[in-house]
Chains A and B, each alone.
Chain A
Amino acid sequence: GAGVSQSPRYKVAKRGQDVALRCDPISGHVSLFWYQQALGQGPEFLTYFQNEAQLDKSGLPSDRFFAERPEGSVSTLKIQRTQQEDSAVYLCASSLVMGQMAGKLFFGSGTQLSVL
């Protein structure tokens, strides 16, 4: 079966440009997480959805970052007026909340964002 799908795989943006990153979770996965991974660092939590509800957005670094999951499936992470410090790999992960596999995160391949 298909895993977590993220697009685009690579994105180059000019400073000040807005970008939108897409995540298509595994079908039936209720929970969806966004992480930011800078070069040489571990993934840093950004935000978390359960179905369409955004339960935690404490990791979003500024109000330029916005995430949505309007129908409880596909999610979009939007970054407005990108800055060079936004350059990173953005990872999406999904999981079940019930059963033996509850809490096990399945990660996408990530979107590598480079802001010039």
Chain B
Amino acid sequence: AQRVTQPEKLLSVFKGAPVELKCNYSYSGSPELFWYVQYSRQRLQLLLRHISRESIKGFTADLNKGETSFHLKKPFAQEEDSAMYYCALRVQAGTALIFGKGTTLSVSS
């Protein structure tokens, strides 16, 4: 079965430090990968998707099929990046997203 693993429940960094939120998936085909974010008292929202190959709020993520990973990175963390981050997988257009358990990112000054 398809699965998304986010090994870290909590990641604490200082402002200005680099951030890497890990995501691994299990699926033998070509999936679509996403990162969703939930800021305090806000609803879950899309941060970025691998097919767009974009940088949003300074975050990037590269799909590595060899390692089945889609880690989220930012070179210099900001306090406003503090939130819950979920990695998600979709195996086919029109099907549901499969989410990981999430990683809480805490950025302090």
Contact status of A104 and B46, CB under 8 A, knowing A42-B86, A42-B102, A43-B86: yes
Nearest opposing residue in chain B for A55, CB measure = B94
Asked if A107 contacts B45 (CB within 8 A), the reply is yes
A-B contact sample (10 more), CB < 8 A, given A33-B97, A45-B96, A91-B44: A31-B94, A42-B99, A43-B44, A43-B97, A44-B99, A50-B94, A93-B44, A103-B32, A104-B46, A105-B46
Cβ of B99 and Cβ of A43 under 8 Å apart? yes
Q: Is A61 an interface residue (CB 8 A)?
A: no
CB 8 Å contact bits of B3-44 with A (1 = contact, 0 = none):
010100000000000000000000000001000100000011
Interface members, chain A 60-116 (any B CB < 8 Å): 91, 93, 97, 102-110
Q: How large is the interface on B (under 10, 10 to 19, 20 to 34, 35 or more residues)?
A: 20 to 34
A49, chain B: closest CB distance, angstroms: 11
How many residues of A are in contact with the other chain, CB < 8 A? 28
A-B complex: 9 closest residue pairs judged by Cβ atoms? A42-B99, A107-B44, A45-B96, A42-B101, A43-B99, A107-B43, A42-B102, A109-B43, A48-B96
Is there a chain B Cβ closer than 8 Å to A16's Cβ? no
Tell whether A28 is near chain B: CB-to-CB under 8 Å: no
Given the complex of chains A and B, what is the CA–CA distance between A41 and B102 in angstroms? Answer: 7
What separation, in Å, do the CA atoms of A34 and B41 have in the docked complex?
20
Q: Return chain A residues, CB-CB under 8 Å to B99.
A: 35, 42-44
Instruction: Determine the chain B residues whose CB is within 8 A of the CB of A110 once the complex forms.
Output: 43
